């Protein structure tokens, strides 16, 4: 089961690279904020359609959830604007390795302290070495 989940997130990561490639030209034509709006508009419409057919009808109210759980709604557009601006300027691979460096470094902190109601997973030597390889990849790509 874990292997299937790992493959799923790898496919999701591939999708983000495609999204970055699409956002650059779209942002150049209509502007970064309009490109971001269009991505989220299409995504919201698709999510709404999926909710109509697949979402449980008796789930807890969206409005009864803690407000901090909605921060992703703020962070998502910031992330997409960053992709839209940086991918055409520094390339998709460099953009993605930069994003990955930020994601993994912050994720280690979140896991270590069990933030956002996650189960604590202490930072150990193996995780730091893995982060070191990602930072090395970022440095090597920046020099190329």
Query: How is the chain split into domains, by residue range?
Result: 2-58+72-143
pLDDT-derived band at 101 (thresholds 50, 70, 90) equals very high
Over range 5-30, report the average pLDDT.
94
Q: What crossing angle do the helices spanning 92-113 and 125-143 adopt, rounded to 10°?
A: 160
- pTM score of the predicted model: 0.84
CB distance 13 to 25 below 8 Å: no
With a cut of 90, say whether residue 80 has pLDDT above it. Answer: yes
The residue count of the chain comes to: 144
pLDDT-derived band at 79 (thresholds 50, 70, 90) equals very high
DSSP annotation of 55: S
Q: What is the mean pLDDT of the chain?
A: 93
């Amino acid at each position: 089961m874990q292997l299937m989940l790992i493959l799923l997130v790898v496919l999701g990561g591939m999708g983000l690279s495609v999204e970055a490639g699409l956002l650059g030209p779209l942002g150049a034509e209509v502007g970064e904020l309009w490109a971001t709006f269009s991505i989220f508009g299409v995504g919201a419409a698709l999510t709404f359609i999926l909710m109509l057919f697949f979402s449980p009808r008796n789930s807890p109210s969206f409005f009864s959830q803690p407000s901090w759980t909605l921060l992703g709604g703020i962070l998502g557009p910031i992330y997409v604007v960053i992709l839209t601006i940086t991918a055409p300027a520094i390339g998709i691979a460099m953009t993605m390795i930069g994003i990955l460096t930020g994601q993994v470094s912050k994720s280690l902190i979140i896991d270590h302290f069990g933030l956002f109601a996650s189960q604590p997973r202490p930072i150990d030597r193996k995780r730091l070495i893995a982060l070191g390889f990602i930072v090395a990849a970022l440095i090597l790509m920046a020099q190329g």
